[in-house]
Structures are given as structure tokens and as C-alpha cells.
Chains A and B, each alone.
Chain A
Amino acid sequence: MLDRLFQALVDGVLQGSVLSLAAVGFSLIFGVLGVINLSHGVLIILGAYLALVALRTIGLDPLLALPLIAAICFGVGYLYQRFLISPAIRRASLLSSLLVTYGVALILQNLFTLVFSADNQSVRPDYANSFDRFGGITVNRLQLIAFAISCVLIAILAWVLRRLPIGRSIRATAEHELAARLCGVDTDQIYAISFGLSAAFAGAAGVLIGMLFPFAPSSQEDWTIFGFVVVVLGGAGSAAGALLGGLLLGIISALTGAFVGPAYPNAVAFLVLVLMLLLRPHGLLGSAFHGSR
């Protein structure tokens, strides 16, 4: 019994770290731009499909392709904000970004279906099937690798936001756009860079997700919703909040899977989402949807 609990906790933390990585960009965009990016999940799936293409065409290991895919996604996110989202917000309102991003999610989902079919795909490598035992707990080696990569990438983002001038100007723009502009910050540029970063992290998460789980064009919806849950749990706009929210979601899912039944993790995750919105809409750290804007 105790072993099962520990096993579920470890599984939860390992999977949760990937959820954190998947959601951190969603959180950043909401925190900085106030945009709820409904195409976040499709950017994650884009990362997975890019890994698939790299593997099929030149036999590149997904982990080696990850930096390149993140860079491509950065460019995609940058241009996406500059030429689609920003004009929509300027001409209509912040609310219009919901429609634009939802539309883009649908278009890309169908494009993926057209190119790659609606079937499940995977870029699971051979080494994914080796296991290590620590005491009574079994750990999948690939999950351990994904955990390490997720933690390192989130730490890098936290460091960039906290220490680098570009990070400082991103936080300044998030806190007060006009004040940032008066300091000489080109906030349009900062918005585009933030979107690029968000997409880069989504793409990187997508590579790991493609290695860990089967994916299909329709998986994109789930990943957007997970991003939403993570932000509600941990709070928007901070790397630490995304890490906390992702780990909690992972642990909740794993515990539910182990003790309630393998069919229920999502149901419980959404129950937690609803309860959080009812009881603590500011998030556990006090910076979710209300507090950050």
C-alpha cells in the first residue's frame, strides 16, 4: 500500500514536470499579454509532429532535434503574434484573440489530419523501455530524462525572466505596459518575443510528449485544457507557478489513476479545476487569473 502510494507520487511528479513544461508558455502569455491562447495545445502538437518529421526523414533522435524544434517554434510564435494576434487585438479587442487562437487551433488540427492522418503517432525511442528500480519504486528511464529536461528548461526560463534584461522588460510589460513604454521598451517587440518563448517551450514539451505518449491531431485540445488547469492551480505569468501547478496536476492524476481507477484522472483534474475556481480563484500562490492582471 505504502509502496503504491510512493510509486504514484513519483509517477505524478515525473509526469507533472512535463505538464509544467507544456503549460509554462500558456501561463507566460496569459501573464504578459492577457491572452488566453487557445492554440497553445496545437503548438505543443506541432512540436511532436516536427519530431516525427525529423525522425522519419533524417532519422534524428527526438532529444537531439529538440533544440532545433524549439527554435523553429520560437519563430512561428513570434510571427504568429506579430501578424495575426496583435493586429486582431488592435482592431477589435483582447477578446478577439480567443476567436483567433481558437480558429488557428482548428485550422492546424485539420492541417495535421490532412498531412499525417488522424491516427495516433509516436516518436517513442528504443531506450524508452528500460526501467530502473530504486528500492520498491520502478522508474521509466525516458520519464526520468523528460523530468530532467523539463526541470532544466523551466529553470532556464525562470532565470531569463529574473536575471536577464529581456526578462526584466517582459516582467515590466506584464506589470504595466504604459510604464514599460515610457522606459523605452518596445512593447510590441516584447509581446512577440514572449509569444516566441511560449511557443518554443510548447514545442519542446511537444517533443517530450511525443516520446512519452501517443499523439494525434485531436490531442491538441487536451493540452490546451491542461495548460488552463495548471495556470488555475499555480498562477499565471511565472515559471515557479507553472512548475507548482504542473506537479500538482501530475500528482493528482497519478493518485487518481492508482487509487480510484485509470479512467478517472481527467475527471478529477477538472473537478479540481472547478473547485479551485470556486474556492481560490486567485490560485494557490495568489496570482492566477484575477491577481495577475
Chain B
Amino acid sequence: MTAGVSPLLDAQGLAFAYDGVIAVEDVSFTVRAAEAIALLGANGAGKSTTVKMIAGVLPPAQGRLRFDADDVTSLPSHRIVELGITLVPEGRLLFPRMSVSENLQLGAYARRARHSYAVNLERVFALFPRLAERRHQLAGSMSGGEQQMLAIARGLMGNPRLLVLDEPSLGLMPKMVDDLFGLIGTIRAMGIALILVEQNVFQTLEVVDRAYVLEKGRVTLSGPGRDLLRDDAVRKSFLGL
């Protein structure tokens, strides 16, 4: 698609340990502009730690992160958001005692997002009409599915070039999960690059361009989503086929 051009995000040899316990040992991957990739793997494979390093929440112990060819390794999270990388974290991390509107306003806190606040708000309300209906409701009083929608909407309010979704389908009802994967196609159509961290392997591989499989803090397998769907190792370990 954009061969020859440097990738939007380039992660090389990332490593991180929590108090001496290695969580990520050696993870490398790339995301091209407007591309969607997935990070797959079992619990404890290092997926969440990896995306926290991308978002500037955890400083990599080793390795290098480049965004748009600039070195962004160990930049604090507010600088990362300002550059256009937004993480929608596992567990949503909304502001439960604030209204839907205020959560969305906070999503647009970065300078890069402020000038396009009205446009993004309209876009988000078009995507999630329920949020428009409930804009005065407290975020903590909504259902799990609505909260996940709000978390993604808040991420989109940051006007990101790369949106990172960490386990967005966790705890959602099957119907909501289908809606969610439909939504991922819509976000891609906006030209926003995506990193999807998921355990829902089958549906994920259907919607992403490429995927990386993590095991014990290392990338053990990578390739186009549809190829991995046909890969015996993936079918055995994730799909139980």
C-alpha cells in the first residue's frame, strides 16, 4: 500500500519488566498510515504492557519507538497524545463521576484536538447516537457496552492518527461485540490507523490487515490477518480447531 515510505509507528526491540519480572522481552512491529494491525496472545503475553509503552505510560527498558520517523521513546503520555497516538485502555478508565459530555471534552484536551472539537463531537455523536441522547448522564451510571462506546468516543475526540484499542470487547455481550467490530471498519474508513489488542482472535483477524502473535513477551508469529486465520499454529492455539 505505502511500500518504501517509512511506517507511521515503528517499534523495535521493546522490553519491559515489572520489578524484575519480565513482561515484554523483545517486541518489534510496525503500523503504516491508515493500517489496522492486531496484537494477539494469551493473558500475560505482554500485549497490554506493549501498548502502555507506546502510549508513554510505561518507559521501555530497551528498544526504540518511532512515530512518523521521530523518536518518541519514553516521551511522557501527554506529549504522545499531542503527537496523535491515543490509547483506549483496558477497563475503559472513564471518569465515572463526570457526565458523558465532560468525558468527551477531556478526550479533546490535547491542543491538537481543540481546534477540531466541534467536528469531532459531531462525528462521534453520529457514530454513537446513544451518547448524544445521554450526554448529561454520569459516565459511571451507564451500561458496560455504553461505557465502552464512550471510551472509544473519548479516544476519537483526541483527533488521533493512531488509535490503540486494548481489549475493547472484554466483558461485552455478543451483540455488542459484533457492533464493535463493525465500528472498527468505520474508524478505519476515517483514515485512522489502528492497533487492536484482542483475545477475540477470529473476528479480529477478519478486520485487520496484519497481526502479530505474542507469547511470553516475544513476537512468535506475524503476517496478514487472513493468512494467520489459515495458519495451523494459530488455529490450534487460539481457535481450538
- A: which residues have CB within 8 A of B? 165, 168-169, 171-172, 175-176, 178-187
Q: A183-B158, A185-B106 are in contact. Are A172 and B93 (CB under 8 A)?
A: no
Using CB atoms, name the residue of chain B closest to A175: B95
> Does residue B136 face the partner (Cβ distance < 8 Å to A)?
no
Q: A182-B55, A185-B78 are in contact. List 14 more A-B contacts (CB 8 A).
A: A165-B105, A165-B109, A168-B98, A169-B106, A172-B95, A175-B95, A178-B93, A179-B89, A181-B78, A182-B57, A182-B87, A183-B154, A184-B158, A187-B78
Using CB atoms, name the residue of chain A closest to B105: A168
A150 to B108, CA, bound (A): 34
- Is A183 touching B106 in the complex (CB atoms < 8 A)? yes
Bin chain B's interface residue count: 20 to 34
Task: Note all chain B residues with C-beta closer than 8 A to A187.
Answer: 78
> Does residue B77 face the partner (Cβ distance < 8 Å to A)?
yes
- Is A172 touching B86 in the complex (CB atoms < 8 A)? no
A176 to B76, CA, bound (A): 17
Q: A168-B102, A168-B106, A172-B106 are in contact. Are A181 and B95 (CB under 8 A)?
A: no
B residues 99-139 in Cβ contact with A at 8 Å: 102, 105-107, 109-110, 113
> Does residue B94 face the partner (Cβ distance < 8 Å to A)?
yes
A168 to B154, CA, bound (A): 15
- Is B95 touching A179 in the complex (CB atoms < 8 A)? yes
> Does residue B165 face the partner (Cβ distance < 8 Å to A)?
no
A184 in complex: contacting residue of B93, B97, B110, CB < 8 Å: B110
Q: A165-B109, A178-B57 are in contact. Are A184 and B94 (CB under 8 A)?
A: no
A178 to B90, CA, bound (A): 12
A171 to B113, CA, bound (A): 20
- Is A186 touching B78 in the complex (CB atoms < 8 A)? yes
Task: Note all chain B residues with C-beta closer than 8 A to A175.
Answer: 95-98
30 A-B pairs with CB atoms under 8 Å apart are A168-B105, A171-B95, A171-B98, A172-B98, A172-B106, A175-B95, A175-B96, A176-B93, A176-B94, A176-B95, A178-B57, A178-B93, A179-B89, A179-B93, A179-B95, A180-B106, A181-B76, A181-B78, A182-B55, A182-B77, A182-B86, A183-B109, A183-B110, A183-B158, A184-B78, A184-B82, A184-B113, A184-B158, A185-B106, A187-B78
A291 to B82, CA, bound (A): 33
- Is A169 touching B109 in the complex (CB atoms < 8 A)? yes
Q: A168-B102, A178-B57, A178-B89 are in contact. Are A184 and B96 (CB under 8 A)?
A: no
Task: Note all chain A residues with C-beta closer than 8 A to B87.
Answer: 182
